[in-house]
Amino acid sequence: MKEQNETQKNSKEFSDDCHKLLSSVSDALYAIGGKWKLMIIIAMARGNHRFTELQRMVNGISARVLSSELKELEMNGFIVKKVDVGYPVSIEYHLLPYSETLEEVVGALSRWGMQHREKIKNDMSTQRQTKP
């Protein structure tokens, strides 16, 4: 290992680093990627616990998709489904502590999303000058 020249070594380590970075990001996207999972978790963190509440809050999601996403989130340990067998039966979904580990990701994404929207807006208004 130590005997290979610096160029090779640096290149190899660089490439290894890259693979590690890629696979960890890939793992993250696999678990919480897609359009809906983070949105559902955000909505739930903000006090929406019922199926229909969630569907109203998460814009554009259908019942079928919400249903299957909730199932996956439950299987993966992000949320728990609580069934209250009163009358009428009430079903609520709640975040488990593990969801809190996503705070940094959600924060980074929302900050970036906000400033990205600004950028798009500026791009559009400057473009309008050249092509009215």
Partner DNA sequence: CGGCATCCAAATAGATACTG
Partner DNA sequence: CAGTATCTATTTGGATGCCG
Rule CB under 7 A: choose which of 38, 51, 57, 72 binds DNA: 51
Q: DSSP readout, 31-81?
A: HH-SSSHHHHHHHHHTT--SHHHHHHHSTT--HHHHHHHHHHHHHTTSEEE
90 near DNA, judged by CB under 7 A: yes
DSSP state of 4: S
51 binds, among DNA, a second copy, none (CB under 5 to 8 A by kind): DNA
- Virtual CA dihedral for 52, 91, 32, 95, nearest 10 degrees? 120
29 near DNA, judged by CB under 7 A: no
Chain contacts with a second copy (rule: CB under 8 A): 14-15, 17-19, 21-29, 31-35, 38-39, 42-43, 46-48, 57-59, 77, 98, 101-102, 104-117, 119, 123
Instruction: In angstroms, give the least distance from the CB of 80 to a second copy.
Output: 15
